[in-house]
Structure 1
Amino acid sequence: MTGVKDPAGLSPAAARQLFREGLVTPTAGFASGYAQANLVAVPRELAYDLLLFAQRNPKPCPVLDVLDAGEVSGPILDGDVRTDLPAYRVFVDGELVEETPDARSWWRPDLVTFLIGCSFTFETALVLDGVPVRHLEQGVNVPMYRTSRRCRSAGALAGPLVVSMRPVPADRVADAVRITARYPAVHGAPVHVGDPGALGIADLGRPDYGDPVEVRPGEVPVFWACGVTPQAAIAESRPALAITHAPGHMLVTDARDAAYQQP
């Protein structure tokens, strides 16, 4: 998938350097032991609405940090949020107008950047406990789906819940729930286990974002809230400008996974 021999063994700084140099790849499995984050940057006049949207929808939008307007680095990132992700999405009036490895040409001094917890952060804990993570095994992006569940709206922002899916053997579902529940800052426990139809998902083989993965006999689809949720709200609510990560192409931070793990 990446051409990198040992992505898990990279330091966060080394991973970000590869992305600055042009490597475009999903970041699942990179810099093992370090937290990853979703990114959303919006004009200052929309920042309060986005903060309120996150406060009202903490499962898909757990805020790790908010940078002041114009800032490009912060306490969990010794780098630059405009260049250090492998791929960005740019929305103008709610329309996706560009996907780019470098957001500097779109950057404005009034942009407020939100760093939102990512479920890639707890995947190391799943793997260490022997719970399979299929998209890592297959070397593809995690499948993500827009659901029929609505988030609580906030000001100008409204939209559906987005979820990520990992197939889990039926006898390990309880373990997956237990392990991930210890990471509430990066989505925590699943929001749904089992029938995709209960979330309004018609076909697991056709994710809205990312790639489909194999669901084997005896496995159950398990769904976690996903930090792509703000992008779905942006597409629906149509703000003048927003810059986000491309789904699955996250910010590798300098914070340790353990910093977000509860006893």
Structure 2
Amino acid sequence: MATAITDPARLRQRARSGSWTGATAGACAGYLQANLVILGGREAEGFARLCRANPTPLPLLERTRPGQYTGLRTALRADLRTDAPAYHVHRHGVFEAEVTSVEDLWREDFVAFLLGCSYTAEAALLGAGVRLRHVTEGLVPPMFVTGLACEPAGGFHGPMVVSMRPIERDQLAEAVAVTGEYPLAHGGPVHIGDPAEIGVDDLGIPDWGDPMVPSPTEVAVFWACGVTPQAVIRAAAPELAITHAPGRMFVTDVPAADIRGRTEL
């Protein structure tokens, strides 16, 4: 299980060496985890506009200078080319490959975007006594493309992606309240209950992650998800785009407590 590592620098070092390629749910509890999007300079400004127009699915934590891959505000000694457990490469909107390093693909015009992740709020949920079955079972939360559209901006458009966590009914109010305190980690749920109402047909067949179907004492709770850029990339089809692999986040050095109640980092 991911809980074996508690130090972000240690997890990133293992990712860099290739000895950690798995999910980061439950890892480095109490630290800010981030979704990663890397685009060429021609598309970067448009994507920044998309983030500003859609702060719930795309909460922007940090944007790099062209060509910058280290010296980050959120993780000073990290290397964005190697320090995520795995990356997805997309060409013209089509997934091409999963890799553990993008050093050989790096370009001087690349701009990286770090976006908030709902994993960040999970330590607070666990601390509040909310049961997270994917953590105890060592699974990646299921993620689904929805019928909810992002606000188009900067030449980008596409559907919102959500992550689903089965929550015990008697813990639902606590889960909503706790996650609502972390707008930079997607904030509170965007939907609770019937998945068909947001265009999700079958909880047993996620687009990414592991299937998890609520038990009779649980309810399906959906949060906006940082995999949304991957759905947007499919729709907008930029020449080359690099993202983290779903469920395998870039872990920063920022304590999660530092973003509580904040809308900017």
Q: TM-score under structure 2 normalisation? A: 0.95
Aligned to 1:208: 207
SS in 1 for 2:176: helix
- Post-superposition shift, 1:31? 1.0
**What amino acid maps onto 1:27 in structure 2?**
T
Aligned to 1:160: 159
Instruction: State whether residues 203 and 213 of structure 2, in contact with CA within 8 Å, keep that contact through their aligned partners in structure 1.
Output: no
Pairing 1:19–2:18 present: no
SS in 1 for 2:208: coil
In structure 2, distance between residues paired with 1:21 and 1:155: 36
Pairing 1:35–2:35 present: no
Query: Which stretches of structure 1, 4 residues or longer, exceed 3 Å deviation after superposition?
Result: none
Instruction: State whether residues 32 and 124 of structure 1, in contact with CA within 8 Å, keep that contact through their aligned partners in structure 2.
Output: yes
Give the alignment's Cα RMSD to 1 decimal.
Answer: 1.2
- Post-superposition shift, 1:103? 1.0
**What amino acid maps onto 1:185 in structure 2?**
L
Aligned to 1:64: 61
Which deviations, in whole Å up to 9, do the C-alpha atoms of 1:37-82 show, x marking residues without a partner? Answer: 0000101111111011111111000000000011012111121010
Give unmatched runs, 5+ long, in structure 1: none
Instruction: State whether residues 134 and 214 of structure 1, in contact with CA within 8 Å, keep that contact through their aligned partners in structure 2.
Output: no
**What amino acid maps onto 2:190 in structure 1?**
V
Aligned to 2:170: 171
Which deviations, in whole Å up to 9, do the C-alpha atoms of 1:116-135 show, x marking residues without a partner? Answer: 00000000000111111111
Percentage of identical aligned residues: 46
Aligned to 2:125: 126
SS in 1 for 2:172: helix
In structure 2, distance between residues paired with 1:134 and 1:106: 37
In structure 2, distance between residues paired with 1:170 and 1:114: 36
In structure 2, distance between residues paired with 1:76 and 1:200: 35
SS in 1 for 2:26: coil
**Map 1:241-252 → 2, pairs under 5 A:** 241-252=240-251
User: Which sits farther off after the overlay, 161-170 or 207-216?
Assistant: 207-216
Which deviations, in whole Å up to 9, do the C-alpha atoms of 1:145-191 show, x marking residues without a partner? Answer: 00011111113211000000011111211110100000001100000
**What amino acid maps onto 2:79 in structure 1?**
D
Pairing 1:51–2:68 present: no
Q: TM-score under structure 1 normalisation? A: 0.96
Aligned to 2:260: 261
In the alignment of these two chains, the number of paired residues is: 259
Give unmatched runs, 5+ long, in structure 2: none
**Map 1:62-141 → 2, pairs under 5 A:** 62-73=59-70, 74-77=72-75, 78-141=77-140
Instruction: State whether residues 138 and 213 of structure 1, in contact with CA within 8 Å, keep that contact through their aligned partners in structure 2.
Output: no
Aligned to 2:145: 146
SS in 2 for 1:175: helix
**What amino acid maps onto 1:155 in structure 2?**
G
